[in-house]
Structure 1
Amino acid sequence: MNYNKIILLGSLTLLTACGTQFPEIAPDVITENTLHDTDDPAIWVNPNDASKSIIFGTDKETNGAIYAFDLDGKIIENKTIRNIKRPNNIDLEYGFKLNDSTQTDIIAFTERENKTIRLYSVPDMKPLDNGGFPVFENETTPEFDAPMGIALYKSPKTNDIYAIVGRKNGPKEGYLHQYLLTSDSLGIHSKLVRTFGTFSGKKEIEAIAVDNETGMVYYSDEMHGIRKYHAEPSQGDKEIYAFGGEYFERDIEGIAIAKYADKSFLIVSNQQAHTFCIFDLKTNAFIKELNLGTLETDGCDVTTVALGDKFPNGVFVSMNDEKNFYFHDLAKLKLLE
């Protein structure tokens, strides 16, 4: 699919091959800049005061960081984790059990140059991983052991929390590794429980998202399509569906899941077209395409929870290729119309 881009002063309008124009939907907030190269965000909803929620975002470089932003896009320095060796993707989960009486919310992110995944508590930002959990340990092929994408899955059956991890390159089968995260008197542990996931071989697999409620994992096979699997290891490793590739110009990137009571959506970055494709989460049907003003978006995240007066309808967060992130009030995406 060939796209032509038309730049208009004061706004960005994208023209598809079919001649359909997508006028820019302006962000409500553009964050302060990071130092290097933004990639993937994650949203923590503060259970005590949603207006004080935190947006985390990776900044890729050897001396990279996990930035923490408030809802005005200002950097929260005492919540920001620095000196990380190329953090790539990030995800968040609630209620990780530390012991019989204590639990915490957590963020997990890949640290590519150390070939580990990292685990921190939220909002106190304490490391829980003793320096990182190794991944892809038995791989000998270059870049088959370099972690990139990550998504956390909390099983509705057991409340177990898993990290599903992708990499810079990998085999045609078993591209993703799934690790069970547990805690006991000796500390926190990561255990490989399965490998799964077909790869087209066309580029790479980075963006991953999980629907905890239905136990489904979605990932971007970047120049091929969106692939759907069971997230529960006991449900097997067979691919359920592959879809959507025809709607993207080239790289299929960041994935976010917007969950409502009666309807849910998959929002996926159409990277080189600088737009987002929206799919019905239940039927996988394409709904529409949106221009949110970002350039070359790698990662995105969404919550439908009201975040105080600033984002009363929830927020959609997307990486912009100018060292920042865009925040849109979710109502601007008109998902329910």
Structure 2
Amino acid sequence: MRLHTFALAGLIALGFMGAAQAADLNPTRLQLDKKGLQLLDRQGRELSRYAVRAKRWDQRADGAQDHVAVLLDADRGRPVLLRSEGQVLRAQDLPEPSFAVEALCLHRDPQGLLQLFLLGEEGLSEQWLIAGPEGARPLRRLATAPGAKGCVVDDKQELLHIDEPGLGLWEHSTRVEGKPQRQLLRAASRKAKAPVSKTWDWPVLQPSGQTAPVARFGDAADDPAIWVHPSDARLSRILGTNKKQGLLVYNLQGEERQLLEVGRINNVDLRQGLQVAPGQSMDLAVATQRDENALLLFGIDGQGQVSELARLPTDLKDIYGLCVGRSAEGELDAYPNDKDGRVQQIRITRSAEGRWQSRLLRQFQLASQPEGCVVDEANGRLFVGEEKRGIWQIDIGSSAGLAPKPQLIMPVGGALVADVEGLAIYRARPGDAGYLLVSSQGNHSYLVLDAQPPYALRGGFRIGINAELGIDGASETDGLEVSAANFGGVYGQGLIVVQDGHKRLPDGPQNFKLLPWSEVARALKLP
């Protein structure tokens, strides 16, 4: 089959279509000739010039009256950023790339941030962010067509097009978060198919903080939990799993305070103020240990110091996700699940001699692999995410000897895109209906549902780049957690912590991102 290719001239024409349309509303325009970049008025008279020898360039509107452009200085082999300010062009050298640049193109992302693609002649390329005090910095590396002579970006569709001579037109997703995705367009498919799941028209919110990266590359960080300091919430802690190493403990500034190398733990959850003996309460965290198919029990002291207490075996064959909650009697129940679809309810107690022990109360069955879950103690409900099918609600307020039938409250499809991952409940005050927060991993978004029937969808959001703080967005989120505690500052109405599957700014091992609940409430107009 003959491959569908575009001439370079066609690519350039496509790339500047938006610029030409914008020029109709702009009293000035940019033009590149052999002597440099010109700023011209409507009559074609030169207002300003940047003298340079360049062949590769791209531009975008910069507000209603001005322009922004990047060109490649052919003599120095480095990109130059130019902005028009009224009738003047101002230039700024960008950092020198570590490879020979063959082509470049600009992208205005859904947040309105300017990004730059630098294509290397050997197929090693980079995507940069042009923002913040540093001017420009790499976001990620890309494998692209070698010898590419041109590229254009469709800002609205978030697609980068690259012409590979003799082969065809490649289409790449411009989204920084998530795995790089591309496809080769062929003659039999004139209409391009989107390479990624549909992104709903959700607001993009900026993270306010992030943790230090975990100490292992690849799919490592997974699930967070939030411990609230009893007297000063600003001294609270974030617990996070590194499923290649152990349990991490961070402060609210994202600094690592502890690393407990307890092996491959997947999910973690905690409860505070549990009565473990007459007159004695403890804060306890539980995690799933995958090598041992066991529950790891941790104690948390009044300063947020975490220590291992016990390893409690289960009869699960491939233990995976977990959440915990108080029983009606005030005891700690853990809800681990297995990749075969089983979800167990296990009571954790301490004997009179001080020995920790566990007892299986009952078991629920789903058709395929679950992971994320959350206990709504106030209403005696368990919410479980079956990764490929949807969100289930299970009545756990009834007799422990019975196994109520799970009810599907939101199937995969539409706004919820598999995998269904982390679940958490936000409740500002006792008695409030509350909200169910869900990680829709397949389209890198987060959904907010009412935590009461009929579980109406209130909306969703994405987490994008905070250029000012130098924090990248979040994507392919596994676990998440939310707390309504007043942590002070921007976290006065609560805190959301999400795992980030792809650490950028710069590239590195995975970490966790922090987001104020108030930003979600504002964006979704929640009461």
- TM-score category of the 2 structures, normalised to the smaller one: 0.7 to 0.9
SS at match of 1:166: coil
Measure how far apart 1:227 and its partner are: 0.5
What is the aligned partner in structure 2 of residue 223 from structure 1? 388
Equivalent of 1:306 in 482, 486, 496: 486
1:150 corresponds to: 322
TM-aligned CA deviation for residue 23 of structure 1: 4.4
- Kindly indicate whether residue 294 of structure 2 is the aligned counterpart of residue 126 of structure 1: no
Q: Secondary structure at the match of 1:332?
A: helix
Q: Does 1:135 align with 2:322?
A: no
Q: Tell me the amino acid that sits aligned with residue 45 of structure 1.
A: V
Contact 1:13 1:21 in 2 (8 A): no
| Greater RCO, CA 8 A, separation 6+ | 1
TM-score (norm 2): 0.56
- Note the alpha carbon deviations across 1:163-190, whole angstroms, 9 max, x for none: 11112x215xxx1111111112231111
User: Which residue does 2:251 correspond to in 1?
Assistant: 70
Query: How far apart, CA to CA, are the structure 1 residues paired with 2:300 and 2:325?
Result: 17
1:126 Cα deviation after fit: 2.7
Q: Which residue of 1 aligns with 2:448?
A: 278
Aligned residues of 1:227 and 1:239 also touching (Cα < 8 A): no
Alignment of 1:191-270 (within 5 A): 191-196=359-364, 198-201=365-368, 204-232=369-397, 234=399, 236-239=402-405, 241-245=407-411, 246=413, 247-261=415-429, 262-270=432-440
How far is 1:20 from its partner?
4.4
| Partner AA of 1:35 in structure 2 | A
Work out whether residues 193 and 233 of structure 1, in 8 Å CA contact, stay in contact via their aligned partners in 2: no
Q: Structure 1: state its 5+ residue gaps.
A: 1-5, 137-143
Q: Which residue of 2 aligns with 1:291?
A: 462
Equivalent residues in 2 for 1:1-16, closer than 5 Å: 9=115, 10=129
Q: CA RMSD in A?
A: 2.3
Q: Tell me the equivalent position of 1:185.
A: 352
| 2:514 equivalent in structure 1 | 327
Q: Which residue of 1 aligns with 2:283?
A: 105
Distance in structure 1 (CA, Å) of the matches to 2:176 and 2:309: 45
Letter in 2 for 1:151: C
- TM-score (norm: length of structure 1): 0.86
Deviation at 1:148, TM superposition (A): 1.1
Matched residues in 2 for 1:199 and 1:240: separation?
Answer: 8
Flag the 1:244–1:213 CA change in 2: closer, same or farther, 3 A. Answer: same
In structure 2, the residue matched to 1:140 is none
What's the CA shift for 1:149? 1.0
Q: Which runs of 5+ in 2 are unaligned?
A: 1-108, 116-128, 132-174, 178-193, 464-472, 504-509
Q: Identify the residue that residue 139 of structure 1 maps to in structure 2.
A: none
Distance 1:128 1:215 in 2: 28
Identical amino acids, percent of aligned pairs: 25
- The alpha-carbon deviation at position 161 of structure 1 amounts to 1.1
Deviation at 1:309, TM superposition (A): 2.6
Task: Tell me, yes or no, if the aligned pair for 1:316 and 1:329 is still in contact at 8 Å.
Answer: yes
1:213 aligned counterpart, secondary structure: helix
The letter for the 2-side match of 1:81 is L
Aligned residue pair count: 310
Post-superposition offset of 1:127: 2.2
- For residue 288 of structure 1, report the CA deviation from its aligned partner: 0.7
Matches of 1:188 and 1:19 in 2, distance apart?
Answer: 46
